[in-house]
């Protein structure tokens, strides 16, 4: 094949990165990348295990003279988020990614780059291929369906691993070592509603222009939640007139802070309702942070609809949106600036005779996730609703002592002359799942520098890869 990246170190890493970029690997479609990994291992006579989920484990013995050292595990996921720009023709099930070098950045034309988590796959392949001169026995675990619920990591047989030091390569900043993450759970709260023939004037109320962001990493930034603002606007309106909900739709993902929400309403008088809504919107605009400066509320008169919710159903749905606790609940007492417990009302949907609210709750403590589910259960009983909790994943607790972390920080200082930042994140990683299976595993999560993950703007800083590689090589010498 023709290689796009020329004259960059380490050559082996970039060669493998380009090869795997030619293999389609959306979540749930990891069979071809698993085939590639199996062939790779077979050609080199390496131990290889593949399970029904297409997780692949490849082991490489220690280099000469290093046999007495403890083995080390590298881990990352083979699947990628598939997003493309409007108008771009790309079939993620068939087409290779079209890589291109944009100055010091590597990108894919019009699509996600899959550096999340292709960097891990390329790194492990380069190590397994023999690009590192001296290392202990290496185990490389390639997991699947990470982006859709850490499914591969949940289903792997961990008795196959002997290493008790693990490097997860699924972070996004070169100078940062992540050493802990939150667990989480999703909840659907379904509220049954009754409808009747529509009367009065119909209006469309839309909230938009908000900044949004990741519901773990950005939940403490003070950004407004469009679904919650809709709850507030409607709760302001109801005492002023007999407004009825026809439908409400907001947000697209449980783990994203919603930027937009639209409600269809029937009201006795359009002027009264829109005046009340616009007055409250002006008050909200005054409260919001600079990041949400794009905030806007639009009220438009619409054609009549067939049915609207009863007054009682409208009150229950509006009460749910307005009153459900949302955002940051607790900050970590030991680690400055780290969120300990949060919830995001990510999605609201009207589906037939129900309104469904979808939440992502996060915490570093399992007991708080339990508490969150019970709180939502209790809330749903008030609403005559039902809850379904799913996609639970465990957190990874910060270890006060870590030989691996110390060694990585030392290696990074030797290579760069700078101190790495040790942090804990309020988002989920496969490390939590693996830690729950092997509690004595010493884990770090690292990466070269990536930007705009999960979007067609995704890029990899080429120069950061060389520093990252040199740090790994040094780590393998001194650990
Ligand atoms: Zn990832």
Q: How far is the centre of ligand 1, averaged over its atoms, from the C-alpha of 221 (Å)?
A: 22
d(CA 92, CA 329): 39
CA of 170 to the centre of ligand 1 (A): 5
Which of 435, 396, 451, 373 is closest to 173 using CA atoms? Answer: 451
Residues surrounding ion ligand 1 at CB below 5 Å: 116-117, 170
Residue 76 Cα to ligand 1 midpoint, Å, equals 8
Q: Which two tokens stand for residue 97?
A: 């990614």
Domain locations along the chain:
11-182+396-478, 185-392
Q: What is the pLDDT of residues 231-245, one digit of tens each?
A: 999 999 999 999 999
- Cβ partners under 8 Å of residue 439, min gap 6: none
pTM of the prediction? 0.86
Would you state the torsion angle of the CA atoms of residues 331, 212, 446, 179, taken in this order, to the nearest 10 degrees? 10
Angle at alpha carbon of residue 164, lines to 40 and 28, rounded to 5°: 45
Q: Rounded to an integer, what distance in angstroms lies between the CA atom of residue 250 and that of residue 260?
A: 6
Cα-to-centroid distance, 162 and ligand 1 (Å): 24
Instruction: For 300-319, write each residue's pLDDT tens digit.
Output: 999 988 899 999 999 999 99
Query: Is 2 annotated as catalytic?
Result: no
**Which residue among the candidates 30, 79, 170, 430 is catalytic per the annotation?**
79
Q: How far apart are the first and last CA of the chain?
A: 36
- 74 alpha carbon to ligand 1 midpoint, in Å? 14
402 Cα to the center of ligand 1, angstroms: 23
| pLDDT of 306 | 87
SS3 of 339, please? strand
CATH 3.30.930.10 for domain 185-392: no
Q: Which residues of the chain have pLDDT under 70?
A: none
Is there a catalytic annotation at residue 79?
yes
CA of 80 to the centre of ligand 1 (A): 7
pLDDT of amino acid 336? 87
- Tell me the pLDDT tens digit for each residue of 163-183: 999 999 999 999 999 999 999
Distance 207 CA to ligand 1 centre (A): 31
Q: Which helix (H) or strand (E) holds 416?
A: helix 403-416
CA–centroid distance, 277 to ligand 1, in Å, is 41
CATH class held by domain 11-182+396-478: alpha beta
Please tell me the distance from the alpha carbon of residue 215 to that of residue 224, in angstroms, as a whole number: 11
Tokens 């007991």, located at residue: 367
Q: Indicate if 185-392 has the same CATH topology as 11-182+396-478.
A: no
What separation in Å is there between the alpha carbon of 188 and the centre of ligand 1? 24
- The sign of the dihedral angle between the CA atoms of 400, 405, 407, 409 is negative
Annotated catalytic residue within 18, 116, 146, 147:
146
459, 452 in Cβ contact below 8 A? yes
- Could you write out the DSSP letters of every residue in 137-198? -EEEEEE---TTTSHHHHH--GGG---SEEEE---S-TTEEEEEE-EEEEEEEEEE--EEE-
């Amino acid at each position: 094949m023709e290689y796009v990246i020329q004259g960059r170190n380490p050559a082996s890493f970039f060669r493998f990165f380009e090869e795997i970029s030619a293999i389609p690997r959306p979540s749930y479609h990891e069979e071809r990348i698993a085939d590639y990994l199996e062939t790779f291992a077979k050609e080199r006579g390496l131990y290889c295990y593949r399970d029904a989920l297409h997780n692949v484990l490849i082991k490489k013995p220690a280099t000469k003279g290093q046999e007495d050292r403890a083995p080390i595990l590298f881990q990352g996921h083979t699947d990628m988020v598939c997003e493309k720009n409007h108008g771009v023709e790309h079939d993620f099930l068939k087409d290779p990614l079209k890589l291109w070098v944009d100055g010091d950045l590597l990108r894919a034309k019009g699509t996600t780059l899959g550096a999340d988590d292709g960097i891990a796959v390329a790194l492990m392949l380069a190590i397994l291929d023999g690009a590192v001169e001296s290392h202990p026995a290496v185990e490389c675990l390639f997991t699947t369906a990470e982006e859709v619920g850490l499914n591969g990591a949940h289903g792997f047989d961990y008795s196959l691993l002997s290493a008790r030091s693990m490097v997860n390569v699924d972070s996004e900043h070169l100078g940062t070592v992540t050493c802990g993450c939150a667990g989480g759970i999703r909840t659907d709260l379904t509220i049954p509603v009754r409808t009747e023939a529509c009367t009065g004037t119909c209006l469309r109320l839309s909230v938009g222009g908000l900044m949004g962001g990741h519901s773990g990493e950005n939940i403490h930034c003070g950004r407004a939640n469009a679904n919650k603002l809709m709850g507030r606007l409607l709760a302001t309106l109801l005492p002023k007139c007999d407004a009825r909900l026809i439908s409400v739709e907001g947000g697209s993902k449980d783990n994203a802070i919603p930027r937009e929400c639209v409600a269809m309403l029937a009201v006795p008088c359009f002027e009264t309702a829109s005046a009340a809504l616009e007055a409250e919107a002006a008050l909200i605009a005054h409260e919001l942070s600079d990041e949400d400066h794009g905030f806007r509320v639009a009220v438009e008169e619409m054609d009549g609809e067939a049915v609207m919710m009863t007054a009682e159903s409208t009150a229950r749905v509006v009460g749910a949106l307005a009153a459900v606790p949302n955002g940051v609940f607790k900050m970590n007492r030991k680690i400055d600036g780290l969120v300990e417990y949060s919830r995001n009302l990510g999605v609201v949907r009207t589906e037939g005779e129900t309104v469904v609210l979808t939440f992502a709750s996060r915490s570093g403590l399992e007991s708080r996730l339990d508490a969150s589910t019970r709180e939502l259960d209790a809330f749903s009983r008030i609403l005559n609703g039902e809850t379904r909790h799913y996609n639970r994943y465990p957190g990874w607790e910060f270890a006060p002592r870590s030989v691996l972390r110390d060694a990585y920080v030392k290696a990074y200082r030797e290579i760069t002359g700078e101190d790495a930042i040790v942090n804990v994140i309020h988002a989920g990683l496969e490390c939590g799942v693996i830690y729950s299976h092997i509690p004595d595993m010493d884990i770090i999560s690292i990466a070269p520098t990536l930007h705009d993950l999960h979007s067609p703007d995704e890029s990899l800083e080429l120069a950061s890869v060389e520093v990252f590689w040199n740090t790994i090589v040094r780590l393998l010498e001194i650990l």
